[in-house]
Structure 1
Amino acid sequence: MPSGRELAYDHLKDTVLSDPAMQGQFVNEQALADEIGVSRTPIREALLLLAAEDLVQLVPKRGAYIAPVSGREIRELFEIRGMIECYAARRTVELGVVPVAQMRAELAGQRDLTGEDQARAFIDCDHRFHSALVRAVGNDMLAKSYDALRARQIRAGIVALFRAAGRRKAVLVEHEAIVDALADADAEAAVAAINAHLAATQQVLLQG
C-alpha cells in the first residue's frame, strides 16, 4: 500500500501540476490533504520532492508555487524529446522492432477522446504513443530518461490543447504521419514527421 507521501506525490505530479488552472497559483496544502485523505506532513514531503525536480517553487511564508511553463523550459523539453524520439525512430526501424500495433492502438484511443473534459486522457494517450516507440528500442536507461520527462510533457501537452483551437485534430494527423512512416520502415520520413509534430506543439506553447 502506498504511503501518504507517495499518494500526495503522485496526485500532485499527475493531477495538480497538469491542471492549466493551477499555473501561476500556490498549492493549498490543507485542501489537498483533505482531498487525498492524508495529513499535511505527507503533502509537504511530496512538495519537497517536487521542488528538487524543479516542478514547483517553495516560497518562504507562502508555500509551494506552480510557475507557468517558461519559454526556456519549453525549448529545452522539446529539444530533449526530439533527440530521444528521433533516435528511437531510427533505431527501431534498424532493428525491425517498430511497435506499430501499439502506437496505432493509442492513436485510435485518442480519436475517441473529443470532449473538453477529456484533455488529460488525450494527453495520457499522447505520452503512451511516444513512449511506446522509445521503449521498443530496448534500452532501459533511455526509457527511464524519457519517462522522467512525463510530468512536463503532459503539462505542456494539456496547455497546448487549451491554447489552440483545433490542436487536438492536428495532433491526430501528425501522429498518423509518424506511425505511417514507421510502418513503411522509412526512418527519415518518421524523423521528419516527429520533428514537425514537436515543432507545431512548441510553437503553440511559445506563442502563448
Structure 2
Amino acid sequence: MRPITLRDVAYAKIRKKILSGEFAPGHFLAEGALADELGVSRTPVREALERLRKEKLVRRVAGRGVFVSEIRIEDVRELFEVREALECLAIRLAIEYIPEEALDEFRETFIDIQAREANQESIPLETQIAIDRHFHEFIAHQSQNQMLIQFLGDIFNHNERIMAVTTRIPSRFR
C-alpha cells in the first residue's frame, strides 16, 4: 500500500466539497486559494484538480481556470442508463457469491428502516442517501469484479453529486 500524499489529501477534500454540493456547478476553483485553505503548496492542488478533471468533476477553461463541472440533463440520463446496465450485471454476478450471513446483516438494516417508517420516524435525507449507497455498493462488492466495482463507484459519486445539488434547489424551482 502506498503512503498518502498531499495530492491525495487535496484530492479527497476538494472532491468531498464537490460531491456534497458545497462547491456548486460553475464554482471557480482558484489553485492559490485552495492551497491556502488546505495548507499545501499549489502543486498538490494542481495535481488533484487534474485527477478531478479526468473524472469529469471539474473542467479547465483555457485562460480562465478550473471550474466545477455543470450537471447537464443529458449527463444525468446517460449516467442512469449506464448505471442500470452495470447494476444488472452486478446483481447477476453477485447472486453467485453472496454469503447467507451477509444477507442476514443486510436484512437487519432494512427491518430497522421499515420499523422507523412504521413509527413515522423521519429519516434524514443524508441517512437515506448513505443507506441507498451502502445497498448498491454491497451488491457491487458481492460481484467480486474489481473493474465493475470501480466503475460503479465512479457512477455512485456522480449520482451523489447530482442528489446533493438537486436537494439544494429551492422547492419552487423544482
Q: Report the TM-score, using the length of structure 2 for normalisation.
A: 0.74
Q: Within 1, Cα distance between the matches of 2:67 and 2:18? A: 11
Deviation track 1:156-178 (CA, whole Å, cap 9, x = no partner) reads 1223434486xxxxxxxxxxxxx
Specify the alignment match of 2:56 in structure 1: 54
Q: Which moved more, 1:18-27 or 1:42-51?
A: 18-27
Structure 2: where are the runs of 5+ without partners?
117-121
Checking the alignment, whether the CA contact within 8 Å between 1:14 and 1:151 is kept in structure 2 is no
The letter of the residue matching 1:5 is: R
Q: CA deviation at 1:61?
A: 2.9
The letter of the residue matching 1:57 is: R
Checking the alignment, whether the CA contact within 8 Å between 2:11 and 2:49 is kept in structure 1 is yes
Give 1:104-183 correspondences, 5 Å limit. Answer: 105=109, 114=124, 119=126, 122-163=128-169
SS in 2 for 1:57: strand
Q: Within 2, Cα distance between the matches of 1:163 and 1:108? A: 30
Runs of 4+ with >6 A deviation: none
Q: Within 1, Cα distance between the matches of 2:27 and 2:12? A: 19
Specify the alignment match of 2:90 in structure 1: 88
Q: Report the TM-score, using the length of structure 1 for normalisation.
A: 0.64
Whose relative contact order is higher, 1 or 2, with alpha carbons under 8 Å and at least 6 apart? Answer: 2
Structure 1: where are the runs of 5+ without partners?
166-206
Q: Which moved more, 1:83-92 or 1:60-69?
A: 83-92
| RMSD over aligned Cα atoms | 3.1
Q: 1:15 aligns with which of 8, 14, 17?
A: 17
Task: From the CA coordinates, give the structure whose radius of gyration is larger.
Answer: 2
CA shift in 2, pair 1:45/1:108, >3 Å: farther
The letter of the residue matching 1:3 is: T
The letter of the residue matching 2:165 is: V
